[in-house]
Amino acid sequence: MALKSRLSGETEGVETLLRNARFELMPFDSFDEEIEHLPAGATIAITTSPQLGIDRTVEKTELATGEGFEVVPHVAARYVEDREHLDEIARRLTEAGVTDIFVPGGDREEPAGEFESAYDLLTALEEMEYEFAEVGITGYPEGHEFLDEETLAAAMDKKAPYATYIVTQLCYDPDAVLEWIEDIRARGVDLPVEIGIPGVMKYQRLMQISKKVGVGDSVKFLKKTTGILGFVKQLVGSRGTYEPDDLVDGLGPHVDDDDYGIRGIHIYTFNQTPDTESWRRGRLPS
């Protein structure tokens, strides 16, 4: 594949990623305060919370669109009760001006209703009167804790015709992401990719989140790139705070490479927006 120079990647490519970043937030009580730290008109993805349910996601979507943000709500299949419920959700999102939705399966052990998977919900949406210009589905550069690679590939192949882009699970290793993109391209999946990266946060919390969402190999990558002593020094030198500089620098050179089709970065803020936004602004040219 044609690759741009590292220097170019550290300037134009990285700047493109950071200027067009998407911020993912959870619809907790802190949400209203968190969005105040984001730039006006920013694109915000809002998750579906296991504790609060999908209706809270819709409520926060209506609030954020009313304040001028571009919002991409998660319509997690296993949280939607039935087609009537889906119709209501689609109606409210459309009325709020939403044109882009993200459809994961959802991490709920038992589905709330008839939708077992993202594919089930995507096909149901096709039969409804409401349409969304953009529909995202999930990608797993490091695999899934409970699903093998063959199962993941088959699921993506089924969902891809109903989607316009892919958002990847959290990953710290740019090479792992790029190799995964090469793999799905070889299978004929040509959807553009939003690459999921962690925001700025304390290492201890990030490690806990990483293990919970099943990206243990990426945690090993953080240690492997510096060695154990280097990793400890990194912890101490950064006052225990992770910043995704190496990750965006590794992805930057490939931003304009059509073979990869990188659409942007999707920042998992875990509702730590002030530190993440401060880091993002600090990396941009003044």
CATH code assigned at 26: 3.20.20.220
Residue 54 is inside which H or E element, if any? helix 54-66
Spans of the chain, pLDDT less than 50: 1-9, 212-229, 231-232, 235-236, 238
Note the residue count of the chain.
286
**Cα angle, residue 16 at apex, residues 250 and 185 outer, rounded to 5°:** 60
Is the separation of the CB atoms in 48 and 75 below 8 Å?
yes
Q: Which of 74, 72, 73, 83 is nearest to 112 (CA)?
A: 83
Total tally of structural domains belonging to the chain: 1
Structural domain contains residue 265: yes
Q: 99 lies in which domain range?
A: 6-201+243-278
| pLDDT value for 227 | 43
Q: CA 156, 245, 166: angle at the middle one, nearest 5?
A: 15
Q: Which of 146, 233, 137 is nearest to 184 (CA)?
A: 137
Residue 218 is assigned to a structural domain of this protein: no
Residue 203, H or E segment: helix 203-212
Residue 192 lies in a domain: yes
Q: Quote the pLDDT of residue 50.
A: 86
Burial group, residue 23, by CB count within 10 angstroms (0-12, 13-18, 19+)? buried
Whole-angstrom distance, CA of residue 175 vs CA of residue 190: 19
pLDDT value for 144: 73
* Dihedral sign from CA coordinates of 184, 186, 192, 198: positive
Does a structural domain hold residue 214? no
CB 192 within 8 A of CB 161: no
Domain assignment of residue 208, yes or no: no
Amino acid 106 reads G
Q: What would the two tokens of residue 106 be? A: 């959802």
Contact at 8 Å (CB) between 89 and 56? Answer: no
Question: In angstroms, rounded to a whole number, what is the distance separating the alpha carbons of residues 115 and 238?
Answer: 44
Residue 127 lies in a domain: yes
- What is the pLDDT, as a whole number, of residue 248? 95
* Bridging pattern class, strands 241-242 and 201-202: antiparallel
Which two three-digit tokens encode residue 36? 């105040």
Distance of alpha carbon 172 from alpha carbon 224, whole angstroms: 12
* Beta strand ranges found along 96-186 (DSSP E): 100-102, 134-139, 165-168
- Establish if 263 belongs to a structural domain: yes
Q: Are 251 and 17 in contact (CB under 8 A)?
A: yes
In a domain, 259, yes or no: yes
